[in-house]
Structures are given as structure tokens and as C-alpha cells.
Amino acid sequence: MGVERKEVRYVMVGSESAGQRLDNFLIRLSKGVPKSHIYQVVRSGQVRINRGRAAADQRLSVGDEVRIPPMRIATRAAAPRPTPATMLPVVFEDEHLLAVDKPAGVAAHGGSGVSFGAIERIRAARPNQPFIELAHRLDRDTSGLLLLCKSRRALLQLHAALRQGEVEKRYLALVAGRWHNDRQHVKLALSKGGAGAGGKVRVDPLGGSTSHTVLELREKLQHFSLLDAELRTGRTHQIRVHLAHLGFPIVGDDKYGDFDLNRRVARAEFGARLARMFLHAWQVRLRHPVSGEPMSFTSPLPPECAEFLQALRG
């Protein structure tokens, strides 16, 4: 239930919103509008930037004109439950940068059926922090290091570093099968699926976006392999799709994985139970977005992943 805001609005982007994602910009401007409705009107093409269709993750520039269509404001009965003020474990923090350790099962942000994610929880836990934004994303079922910025200056600099490949992000992935190469570069272009694809990303050599993953063998196990995956580009589901396409799906991946194997893993047929995807962002290396100081953050494997590995070794 809700009431419809009648008018179309045209908003000019100022310097305070430069570099911000469209979805975050709309959420802040559209108080009382359910996030699911905001994402729906963006997907339908009703939100436009400079008269052109826009995606939720499009970055804004000073002087952009954003067309905001009439949107449904939630009534009191339909109001979402309050966001829990839950601060995720802090790995590093200063006046510009925040690195947290995100658990599996927590989305990076709300939307698409998720009421709230890591960013909403952190904002609720830090009500006096005037500015805090995600610098990048992690899949909901991926655990590990997540970077946020506490100043607009840091956010713009870190986004530039990410675009230029100056931030090194490494993941640990347990895959089905016996991986043989010590080090392998995977360059497979990726495209997001169209309507009816269920949100899946696919390998698309002709029309896809350039995607580059570097895979290193960490450990061979009887039916599995532990890999270190370095992202050279940051496409949606990149590691998951690259590995599945090569015939080495990530254990526990419910979108691109081996579903029969996932059921066996969840039933503890390999000595321990694992009820999540084994993909963990374990290391980030970068230069501080303001001071330029070299920095390196690490996150240990979560207990459920470490215990499953130990059972396989045994």
C-alpha cells in the first residue's frame, strides 16, 4: 500500500553529489519511497540522466540533470522494519577510510528484495557520521574485506584508483575439481543476462565487457582445489562466472555452481558441513586515497570455511 507522488522532478547534480551512484542519490532524495520501488523505476527506464536511460550503478557528474518520475511513498502500514544499528568488524579506520570484514549472507546494500545491507547497518550504527559510502561491492554470499569512504574526497580518489586498476583485491575460492596450472590468466568478456536470465552473468566474447582474473593454485585436495583469485577488473560475479565457465565451479555457489555437489557439501558428506559459498575476499592492497600511503588489509578465512578445509585435509 502507498500513495503516489504526482509530479515529475528534475534535479541538477551539484558538487556534493559528484561521483555518487544513481541509486544512492535517489534513495537520499526520495524519503519514504521503498528501495524496491526505486530500483524498479530505474530498471523500467523512467529515471533519466541528461534525457538518456540510466543504470542504478551509473556515477553522477556535476551539472547532470536527473529526471525523477512520480514514485509511490510507503504508508505507515507498509513502512519497512527499522535498520539494525550493527557495526561490522572494523579492520581499519581513519577520518577518510573504513575497512570492514563483511560476513557471508549480508548484502553490501539494500534493494532487489533486501531491506538493508552493510551500508545501511553501518550508517545506523554511526548516526553522527555525516558522510559514508561504499567504495565497491561484494556479493551477498561472499565474505571478507569491504571498503567504505568517510569523505567525498576519498571516495572520488578511490573510485579513480579502482578504475585504473591500482587497487589489488584477492579472494580465496574453493572449487570442484583438480586444478593443474600454478598460475593462469583468464580473460573472458562478460555480459549481464537479459530478461528471464535470473540475474545471471554470462561469457560473451563478442559483446561482453573485458574481464580479467588471475588464478593461482594454493592447495590440491582430493576432489577440490583451493585457489587465490586476483581481480584485474571488477565485473559482477566475475570470479564465479570465469571459474564455472572453465568447469571449476565454486563450492556452494547457488547460481553458477554444481547443485548436486552443493547438496552433498551441505549434508557434510566430505567430513564437515558447509552451508555457504566458499569465496572470501582475504586481501586488499592500495594507496590511501588521501595521503597516498601504501596500505594492505587482510581478513582470515571465516571459521566455517577453515573447518571445511581442515576436514578435507583430514
Grid cell of 163 as nine digits: 578504475
Query: Would you say 312 and 288 are in contact if contact means Cβ atoms under 8 Å apart?
Result: no
Picking from 104, 101, 17, the residue whose alpha carbon sits closest to that of residue 64 is 17
Split at pLDDT 50, 70, 90, the class of 113 is low
**Is the separation of the CB atoms in 311 and 271 below 8 Å?**
yes
Is the same domain home to 220 and 106?
Answer: no
Q: Are residues 145 and 19 in the same domain?
A: no
Flag whether 187 is in a domain.
yes
Q: Which residue shows C-alpha cell 572520488?
A: 156
The one-letter code for the residue type at 17 is S
Domain hosting 123: range is 90-159
In a domain, 107, yes or no: yes
Q: 49 and 187 share a domain?
A: no
What CATH number does the domain containing 179 carry?
A: 3.30.2350.10
* 78 — pLDDT class (breaks 50, 70, 90): very low
Domain count for the chain: 3
State the sign of the Cα–Cα–Cα–Cα dihedral 126, 81, 89, 168.
negative
| Cβ proximity of 228 and 170 under 8 Å | yes
**CA–CA dist 62, 17 (Å, integer):** 7
Domain-embedded: residue 197: yes
Which cell is 5 given? 507522488
Q: Is 139 a catalytic residue?
A: yes
Containing H/E element for 43? Answer: helix 35-43
pLDDT at 86 over 80: no
Q: Is the pLDDT of residue 1 over 50?
A: no
b/e per residue 254-279 (b: at least 16 CB within 10 A): ebbbbeebbeebeeeebebebebbbb
Q: How many residues does the chain have?
A: 314
Say whether 163 sits in a helix, a strand or coil. Answer: helix
**Domain match, 26 and 56 both:** yes
Pair (117, 236) in one structural domain: no
In sign, the C-alpha dihedral spanning 166, 167, 172, 176 is negative
Of 75, 98, 124, the residue that ends a domain is 75
* Cell of residue 79, nine digits: 513502512
pLDDT at residue 227 above 90? yes
Same domain, 149 and 204: no
Do the Cβ atoms of 65 and 49 come closer than 8 Å?
Answer: yes
Q: Is the residue at 80 inside a domain? A: no
Tell me the per-residue pLDDT of 237-286, one tens digit each, with 9 for 90 and over.
999 999 999 999 999 999 999 999 999 999 999 999 999 999 999 999 99
Q: 173 with 298, same domain?
A: yes
51 and 94 belong to one structural domain? no
Do 182 and 153 reside in the same domain of the chain? no
For the chain, the distance separating the N- and C-terminal CA atoms, rounded to the nearest angstrom, is: 55
Examine the pLDDT at 143 and tell me if it is beyond 60: yes
Q: Among 46, 75, 104, where does a domain finish?
A: 75
Q: Tell me: the pLDDT tens digits for 154-174?
A: 999 999 999 999 999 999 999
Four-residue CA torsion sign, 34, 134, 25, 151: positive
Q: Among residues 23, 101, 139, 253, which one is catalytic?
A: 139
CATH label of the domain that carries residue 126: 3.30.70.580
Q: Is residue 82 part of a domain?
A: no
Q: Are residues 131 and 22 in the same domain?
A: no
On whether both 135 and 226 belong to a single domain, the answer is no
In a domain, 252, yes or no: yes
Q: 17 and 149: one domain?
A: no
Please, which residues have CB within 8 angstroms of residue 209's CB and are 6 or more apart in sequence? 189, 190, 191, 233, 235
**Strand 72-74 to strand 2-4: parallel, antiparallel, or no bridges (unpaired)?**
antiparallel
- Structure confidence at residue 311 (pLDDT): 95
Q: Which are the contacts of 28, defined by CB distance < 8 A and separation ≥ 6?
A: none
Residue 71 lies in a domain: yes
129-133, 193-197, 228-232: which has the minimum mean pLDDT? 193-197
In a domain, 219, yes or no: yes
Domain termination site, one of 159, 189, 211: 159
Q: What is the pLDDT of residues 10-56, one digit of tens each?
A: 888 887 788 889 998 898 888 778 888 888 889 989 999 998 998 99
